[in-house]
């Protein structure tokens, strides 16, 4: 028997909300978090639209943890976030919020000492690196004195483990836009096969630099032509007029725990992680493959012992790209056959844009909140449904639905596919 894995804490930060209640309320209302970019000057790049957290007051958010975290951790949070780069600050705040939400912050050290930390993402601080490179050209001695440390993605895992005083394994996982699910797979493995009792899983906020966005525009991957004056309409999965995904700031965190420990300490259990699996296309190019995606879906169903008919809802990858959206639907039809017509699907990215590496974790939070609410959010901005879309994608608005088992798809550049299955839990 494999160890069961519970989600006992969650946190979120997107332009829609930085609280769980506010987040699910905004999703069910069908609100968009997209604006024009404010984090940098876009005069020289094609990309003008995104979900922008550059104006978010991180230090005010840190002060909210006074009296929530124990005094020692609160002091560490204030100290560590004072000098850390922007993206790393977000990782620590997200971890602190999920840790507090789990109730583990009130437990004895033996519950925490061997906690693992897994951070999803890579190339996380490109704007921070660009600013220091520019400073280096002007005066080398004036770059960030800790650049050699802070520029490393592992600084996220190290900073979170320092904050929580977690002394289990700590590392980062990079798998493009599948990073969050692949990192979850690693976290689950730590609990099932390496005796971890808990793992903090962080979907780090990707700090885009202008060159990143311009390169994606030159590749033809992102929306940059039609919606600069109406950014809230730019992300439109399943619509006939979709023209590419919309890059977005956003992050989330999940506290994963050994099921028996969670039950023994009386934890609130949001949901169970039944399984997470991965499969690759054997192709490094950003060309979605129905064969590779369906292989990952079949694998997680088989390994989890779940029949396709037990899945009633899929939180789709659905990025708003012309090829990607229909390829995913083709993959679903291959796996689910005639049952595909009974499935409910929706596209969280229609409101958030694509938070890239953190998207699977951000959207897992969205999925769990919908399961607990008994309602699914709409896929917005579908003005003319693509004729190739013949499944129920929640185009008409939020609907009542209470799934027991759900699937979360995540597919990354380079043919990296990862799929998870969650099970609802009634407290």
Q: Which residues are catalytic?
A: 177, 317, 354
Cross-strand pairs, 345: 314
Residue by residue, DSSP assigns 331-348 as: HHHHHHGGGGGG-EEE-T
List, in order, residues 6 or more apart from 221 with CB less than 8 Å away: 244, 245, 286, 321
**Residue 108 buriedness (CB in 10 A; 0-12 / 13-18 / 19+):** exposed
Q: Which two three-digit tokens encode residue 263?
A: 């039950």
Q: What residue has token string 């699907």?
A: 345
List, in order, residues 6 or more apart from 254 with CB less than 8 Å away: 7, 9, 10, 98, 184, 200, 201, 361, 364, 365
Taking every pair of C-alpha atoms in the chain, what is the biggest distance, in angstroms?
A: 64
Distances in Å between the Cα of 32 and the Cα atoms of 43, 50, 226, 278 are 24, 11, 17, 30
Q: Which two three-digit tokens encode residue 280?
A: 């690759």
Best CA proximity match to 369, nearest among 26, 4, 5, 15: 26
Cross-strand pairs, 183: none
- 208 touches 324 (CB < 8 A): no
3 state SS of 418: strand
Q: Is 336 left (phi over 0), alpha (psi -120 to 50) or beta?
A: alpha
């Amino acid at each position: 028997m494999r160890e069961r894995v519970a989600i006992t804490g969650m946190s979120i930060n997107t332009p829609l909300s930085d609280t769980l209640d506010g987040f699910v309320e905004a999703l069910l209302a069908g609100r968009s978090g997209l604006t024009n970019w404010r984090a940098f000057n876009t005069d020289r790049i094609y990309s003008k639209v995104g979900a922008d957290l550059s104006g978010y007051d991180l230090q005010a958010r840190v002060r909210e943890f006074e009296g929530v975290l124990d005094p020692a951790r609160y002091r560490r949070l204030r100290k560590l976030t004072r000098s850390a780069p922007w993206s790393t600050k977000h990782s620590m705040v997200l971890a602190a919020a999920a840790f507090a939400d789990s109730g583990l912050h009130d437990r004895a050290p033996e519950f925490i000492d061997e906690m693992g930390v897994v951070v999803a993402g890579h190339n996380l601080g490109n704007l921070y690196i660009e600013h220091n490179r520019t400073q280096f050209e002007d005066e080398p001695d004036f770059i960030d004195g800790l650049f050699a440390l802070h520029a490393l993605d592992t600084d996220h895992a190290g900073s979170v483990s320092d904050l929580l005083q977690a002394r289990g394994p700590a590392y980062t996982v990079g798998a493009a836009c599948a990073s969050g699910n692949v990192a979850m797979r690693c976290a689950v493995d730590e609990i099932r096969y390496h005796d971890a009792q808990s793992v903090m899983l962080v979907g780090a906020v990707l700090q885009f630099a202008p060159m990143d966005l311009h390169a994606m525009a030159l590749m033809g991957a992102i929306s940059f032509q039609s919606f600069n004056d109406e950014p809230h309409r730019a992300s439109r999965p399943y619509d006939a007029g979709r023209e590419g995904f919309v890059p977005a700031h956003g992050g989330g965190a999940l506290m994963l725990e050994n099921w028996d420990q969670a039950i023994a300490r009386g934890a609130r259990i949001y949901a169970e992680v039944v399984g997470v699996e991965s499969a690759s296309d054997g192709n490094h190019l950003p060309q979605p493959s129905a064969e590779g995606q369906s292989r990952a879906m079949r694998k997680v169903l088989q390994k989890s012992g779940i029949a396709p008919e037990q899945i009633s809802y899929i939180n789709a990858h659905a990025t708003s790209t012309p090829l990607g959206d229909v390829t995913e639907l083709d993959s679903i039809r291959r796996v689910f056959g005639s049952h595909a017509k009974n499935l409910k699907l929706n596209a969280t990215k229609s409101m958030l844009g694509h938070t890239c590496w953190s998207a699977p974790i951000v959207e897992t939070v969205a999925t769990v909140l919908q399961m607990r609410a008994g309602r699914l959010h709409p896929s917005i901005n579908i003005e003319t449904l693509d004729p190739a879309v013949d499944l129920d994608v929640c185009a008409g608005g939020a609907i009542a639905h209470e799934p027991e088992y759900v699937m979360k798809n995540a597919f990354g550049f380079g043919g990296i596919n990862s799929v998870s299955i969650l099970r609802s839990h009634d407290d």
